[in-house]
Structure 1
């Protein structure tokens, strides 16, 4: 999984930059332009003022008319306008990734077309395109990493753990379970592939130093098979 993470780290950085960009755009657009206080009601014409976004309750008379002056006002808090601070703006933008656009529900979409444009762009660019691209890249890298060599490596680790922690000493000496020599059949194509992978990772010298006879035998066998 570490190998997979290294492959997609650049994409995650790009995704993080895009999220920060949208968070900064919303922060600039929805930041209150006038002074306000959560402890005392502030009345002004700023549409981003948390007091102007707070829920209000008006009296409805028997004739159906609505009193223009609010009867009750729910005091706002830091979540009323999450774009008063860049940290909460970043968190609100992150919530968009999960489909939660509630941070913008306090504004009228009909009277604020820039909000609608930002939501549409973010949903198309990040939620639809980049997230599906991320899933595809992650799937490809996992499949590429899940090859035959990785399977045998994982199998060897499991067997080693079983031998170390789950077997008694006399069981570890059973040659039927743990022979001294294990013969493995591989085609010439597989041998060439393994040699190329080792060389590409610049580990052939280390491999040849650790297993000099095996390294020379592999090269000789591969060379002879190709010449036949």
Structure 2
């Protein structure tokens, strides 16, 4: 099941299945459809690009691309549903117009498949050329439909999508994403490309691995685990010795500390901001310029006495 959770594996499956199916068809019939060869070649070339993942120069950006796709997949599915709805509406509205003209390039909405492509093209580019032939003052339905689509799809959803992408890219830790991707590659090599005796080699896979890290960063990292502030494939389990060495509180103690901090903040805010008279009193208690001069003189005298 974990295999299906990675976007990289879908590309591998597409390249493998399309190539095998096309090859079998070619061997049995002596030739293969052009579209099958086209898609097989496309997926194989994409898979070749994926082989550049271990190289940091390319891997950071490939990890960024795939992580972004994983985060916005649900949004893309919803956007696809809206595209289908818009294409279906135009297909029902304009399919009768195809009988008036034999030129299929004029009416792309006569067939549902071409209607989807035309609708997607209009939503992505904002170009209304596929439907401009029918836009007129007499056809009020198309004008209303185009106004609705222009506002909701082109302005609202597309700008929302751009904003989501910008937030994901700007707030993501791409170096960490690349390291996670590299870890997946190592796991894949160990599981699929190594024999059992190779996995048992201690010089390749030592029993104990020592890491160097900043203790403050490690402490913050462990404290973030119970609150899911970081992305984990598997929830890490810090050992008791590690917790004791970093002097970390237990899980329940962490919650108590946070609750106390919130209580302090709430009580402070409940008291309200200081009044003008209180501020004057605070300012009055501050040392003046003469007090600082006297303090400086006293320090100089003490130095002289020594």
**TM class by smaller structure:** 0.5 to 0.7
Which of 137, 153, 157 is the aligned partner of 1:130? 157
Q: Which has the higher contact order (CA 8 A, sep 6+)?
A: 1
Q: SS at 1:187's partner residue?
A: helix
Q: SS at 1:132's partner residue?
A: helix
Per-residue Cα deviation, 1:109-156 (whole angstroms, up to 9, x for no partner): 1110111111111111111110111111122222333266447x38x8
Question: What is the rounded CA distance, in whole Å, between the counterparts of 2:164 and 2:135 in structure 1?
Answer: 38
Q: CA deviation at 1:225?
A: 7.6
The answer to whether structure 1 residue 121 and structure 2 residue 148 are counterparts is yes
Question: What is the rounded CA distance, in whole Å, between the counterparts of 1:90 and 1:18 in structure 2?
Answer: 11
Question: What is the rounded CA distance, in whole Å, between the counterparts of 1:197 and 1:224 in structure 2?
Answer: 13
The answer to whether structure 1 residue 94 and structure 2 residue 94 are counterparts is no
Question: What is the rounded CA distance, in whole Å, between the counterparts of 2:135 and 2:84 in structure 1?
Answer: 24
Partner of 1:184: 213
The answer to whether structure 1 residue 31 and structure 2 residue 70 are counterparts is no
Indicate the structure with greater helix content: 2
Per-residue Cα deviation, 1:41-64 (whole angstroms, up to 9, x for no partner): xxxxxxx1454xx6xxxxxxxxxx
Partner of 2:79: 15
Question: Is the 8 Å Cα contact of residues 31 and 84 (structure 1) preserved in structure 2?
Answer: yes
Across the aligned residues of Structure 1 and Structure 2, the Cα RMSD in angstroms comes to: 3.3
CA gap 1:116/1:194 in 2 versus in 1, 3 angstroms: farther
Question: Is the 8 Å Cα contact of residues 50 and 77 (structure 1) preserved in structure 2?
Answer: no
Question: What is the rounded CA distance, in whole Å, between the counterparts of 2:66 and 2:149 in structure 1?
Answer: 29
The answer to whether structure 1 residue 5 and structure 2 residue 74 are counterparts is no
Question: Is the 8 Å Cα contact of residues 192 and 222 (structure 1) preserved in structure 2?
Answer: no
Partner of 2:189: none
Using structure 2 for the length normalisation, give the TM-score: 0.44
Structure 2 unpaired stretches of 5+: 1-64, 184-208, 254-306
Q: CA deviation at 1:187?
A: 1.4
Indicate the structure with greater strand content: 1
Using structure 1 for the length normalisation, give the TM-score: 0.57
CA gap 1:199/1:129 in 2 versus in 1, 3 angstroms: closer
Which of 104, 123, 126 is the aligned partner of 1:78? 104
Structure 1 unpaired stretches of 5+: 33-47, 55-75, 158-179, 209-214
Q: SS at 2:247's partner residue?
A: helix
